[in-house]
Amino acid sequence: MSNALEVFTAWIEPRINTGMVLLGVALLAVVAGVLALGVYGFIFGHEHLYGVTREVPWGILISTYASFAIISTGLVLIAAISHAFGGNPMAPVANRAVYLSIITIFSAFLSIGVELESPHRMLIYNIISPNLTSNIWWMGTLYGAAVGCMLVEFFGIISQKWRMALYVGVLGALAEVGANSNLGAVFGTLAARPFWYGAQLPVFFLCNAVMSGAACIILFTHIAYILRGEKMDKKNFIALRTVAKVVALTLFLIAIATTWKLIIMYTGGEAASQAATNLIKGPLSTNFWVFETVIGIIIPLLLLVGTQVNNLAAMSTASLLALIGGFFQRYDLVVVGQSVPVFSGWDNLPNFLPYTPSAAEFFVVFGCICLTVGGFLLGERFFGKAFSLSEH
């Protein structure tokens, strides 16, 4: 017991003051309120809390789940590449990426857990009644396996069992990639929804994962140094420059993929073109042009290319904007895919089915963000020294 306590206390970062810990506890208390909200929904019914309907059954909580799950996958990939191929410039940020991947996947689980009416049934029947032909079954199973691997990997890091951490971390990365591609396939295999259907989404989600994970580690590493009140050392700055180049490259690829997606939609029949119109000049056009395109892609690329990824504030700002844009992109994807009625043209159905998130849904989203921020602050306090290791 004393040895375990020594291992734990060895990584405490004294430069992160106890005020940050209290803030983390306060943020986690907000999450407790979200859980209480979820219990209320389980008892009295989700229809009293959420803005989803029979026609649009998936809302902002699904897109929030996808966003945090995608970020977690990207963080795991960055950590695995850094650990498996020793000596690369990204190694100094790898340990923090492992920890943040755990926090973000739990934020994803919080969102989907509160969204489901009976999450306990998912846990039970996932084990006793597996469906090997279901993308959702594979997604849940692989994400569960990935969480176990990440926890073991992080334990290996703080206990300095490097070989175990490396091998388990690679397994966790493979599980996350499989889970993430199955998440894309959940949408991509629905032939009744032309905007989703196709082989592009699983690969598109993986590209988004790399971008989001890279942006996340840049932003939180910068914040960590601000909390410590010190200037970033050269080794970490070079690491963030390398990761920022990954962000720029993947943003460029996402822009190309989005452009071709819309072009193909206008050649894919009435339902597909109608969904694309919803994005370009319909109810979701502001989301698409302002948040997803300008804030999420154009401005971050201009900041990164304009400063030649040599300015920490610009890299951090670009990362924050890319994460915001990515969140809106997932929201638009989920809602637009359902916005066109399956039997469009029958019985005077509207061109676009309406959906507006409720206050309860916004509160859950806020709680998921708080879980990530609070977990980050607590991690910097209790494992801060482990995040500075890079030579192992």
Tens place of pLDDT per residue across the chain (392 aa): 445 555 556 667 766 765 566 677 767 777 777 777 777 877 777 878 899 988 899 999 999 999 999 999 999 999 988 877 766 788 889 999 999 999 999 999 999 988 887 787 888 888 889 999 999 999 999 999 999 999 999 999 888 888 898 899 999 999 999 999 999 999 999 888 889 998 889 999 999 999 999 999 999 999 999 988 889 989 999 999 999 999 999 999 999 999 999 999 988 778 888 889 989 998 999 999 999 999 999 999 999 999 999 999 999 999 999 999 999 999 999 999 998 887 765 667 777 888 999 988 998 898 899 889 889 988 888 888 888 766 55
pTM (predicted TM-score): 0.93
pLDDT at 64: 96
> In whole angstroms, what is the distance from residue 284 CA to residue 57 CA?
17
All domains in the chain, ordered by first residue: 2-388 (1.20.1630.10)
> In whole angstroms, what is the distance from residue 337 CA to residue 196 CA?
6
Kindly state the tokens that stand for 206. 């993986």
Helices (H), strands (E): how many in the chain?
14, 0
Which residues have a Cβ under 8 Å from the Cβ of 245 and sit 6 or more positions away?
304, 309
> In whole angstroms, what is the distance from residue 238 CA to residue 310 CA?
9
> In whole angstroms, what is the distance from residue 187 CA to residue 92 CA?
36
Q: Which of 93, 281, 276 is CA-nearest to residue 195?
A: 276
